[in-house]
Structure 1
Amino acid sequence: MSRKGNCWDNAVAEGFFKTLKSECIYQNKFANKEQAALVVFEYIEAWYNRKRLHSALGYMSPEEYGKTLNKQNIAA
């Protein structure tokens, strides 16, 4: 862990929330808290985790990456 004032510990979380806000939150207007929670849930489960390409995964979606990893483990 880094010392107080260094941002590297939270870099992954900060990057995710920046993406969430720019791709989901700022694109919608919500009538209430429940609607916002539903939209965020759908964004994370349907788009971010299944279809969105991630540079850290070799520009594959997490779902694709998981399938590839499972195939490699079965073959090994």
Structure 2
Amino acid sequence: MAEFTPDNIFNADKTGVFYKLLPEKTLEFKGIDCSGGKRSKETLTVMVCTNMSGSEKVEILVIGKSVHPMCFKNVKTLPTQY
């Protein structure tokens, strides 16, 4: 790492986004659970990447099998690469 500046060292990782999962707790009402019904397991897998200094952030990459996923049925554009 001594040969490179923080602007030239990048880190990327993939993570799952549970976009339909409701929270179990809330800060709105103390002591009241937000649970009920089945928990959604629908996820999107996304990859995030940035350099060590944080000056260059790569657009989020959505990883999936379908060109037009059903979860984005009425969405025209996304600020990501797919």
Measured against the shorter chain, the TM-score band is under 0.3
Larger % of helix: which? 1
Which structure has more RCO (C-alpha within 8 Å, separation ≥ 6)? 2
Higher Cα Rg: structure 1 or 2? 2
TM-score normalised by L of structure 1: 0.24
Larger % of strand: which? 2
